[in-house]
Amino acid sequence: MIHGLRAQRLLGALCLAIATACGSGPTEPDDTGFSPPPSNPDTIPLRQLAQQRGIRIGSAVDAGFRYTGSQGTLFRAKLAREFSMLTPENDMKHASIHPARDTYRFGPADSLVTFAEANGMQVRGHTLVWHQQLASWLTNGTWTTAETRTLLDDHIRTVVEHYKGRLVAWDVVNEPFNDNGGMRSGFWFDRLGEAYIEQAFRAANVADPQAKLFLVDYNIEGINAKSDSAYALVSRLLARGVPVHGIALQGHFQVGTVPPTLAANIARFAALGLRIHIAELDVRIQLPSTTATLQQQANDYRDVFAACLTTTACEAVVAWGLTDRESWVPSTFPGWGEPMLFTGSFDPKPAFFAIYQLLK
């Protein structure tokens, strides 16, 4: 289980402190931000280096996973070799997995979970409750408050029980806040108020008491009004005994914008007794990319991993995609792209080498 890596993290820290017992320690970065890449960077998979530092390194996939022919073979081989955690990018969202009131479509997500199990990867479930990608039968229906509560419970119970014992964590409630820190309007909040969040966590915990349950949002990576609201909400939930086990910071950054307060923000959530996952990391570049912007992207990825390594409470960093080819970024942010660790041709980018050197 992921918490078993904490002892390895502590051992790694001891190794750094006692160089005569464990080696000379990591190579110091040069003035460009990281050491030159090794001559053969694929000798040791990233997942193995991450494990030695006490964390999981993950990737969010679904569309690329279904490439056919040699592209599909290469995609899945790269995924299994380099990553120890998998998040379904879309296949577990409401509209995909629950297309009709009495119909669940588990096949696509099942294939990802089966692949992960066959390759020693843990799975993060994403996501049980969100204001987007809801099935039209739900949003177009007319429901009483009592019916809405039942619909929420039924969805969570059915999905979580289907994967009981197979997933290490669930993103239970995704993006509940506006950027100013207020509660976001949406199907669940508009009908149930803030109480929908507590209901969702309690229902998920009943369905699988072993899974770790996370609140997730974007733009809460640094200390700001939105992350203050997340901190206050989680504190209230914990005070009421609600089973919130972690906070997931998404990490969708423009190049050069990783907040300097990331490590401090991680530390304050850790002080609540929470686990921390960097759950949707990508760093987008304004196109066309240059040597300088790719270098800055590498520095940004390195800085995020370095912040996670400052505490054993930060257990995982999940990239929101495998290659630039499948990324959601170009279609959502016109003029921006190339946010991942690998090119569309599966070649490692400077960001890959930066992480490699940091972990090694």
Write out the catalytic residue numbers: 175, 280
Q: What is the CA radius of gyration of the chain?
A: 20
Q: Are 275 and 241 in contact (CB under 8 A)?
A: no
- Separation CA 140–CA 288 (nearest Å): 42
The dihedral built from the CA positions of residue 210, 11, 50 and 251, taken in this order, carries a sign that is: positive
Beta strand ranges found along the chain (DSSP E):
56-61, 85-88, 122-129, 169-174, 212-217, 246-249, 252-254, 275-286, 314-319, 336-337
The torsion of the CA quartet 304, 320, 86, 322, rounded to 10 degrees, works out to -100
- DSSP for 67-87, written as a single string: --HHHHHHHHHHHHHH-SEEE
- Separation CA 61–CA 92 (nearest Å): 11
Q: Are 323 and 287 in contact (CB under 8 A)?
A: no
Beta strand ranges found along 97-238 (DSSP E):
122-129, 169-174, 212-217
Burial (CB count within 10 angstroms: exposed 0-12, middle 13-18, buried 19+), residue 74: middle
Burial (CB count within 10 angstroms: exposed 0-12, middle 13-18, buried 19+), residue 168: buried
Residues contacting residue 238 through CB under 8 Å, at least 6 positions apart: 244, 272, 273
In the 8-state DSSP scheme, what is residue 342?
A: B
Q: Are 230 and 178 in contact (CB under 8 A)?
A: no
Q: Are 192 and 149 in contact (CB under 8 A)?
A: yes
Pairing status of strand 246-249 against strand 169-174:
unpaired
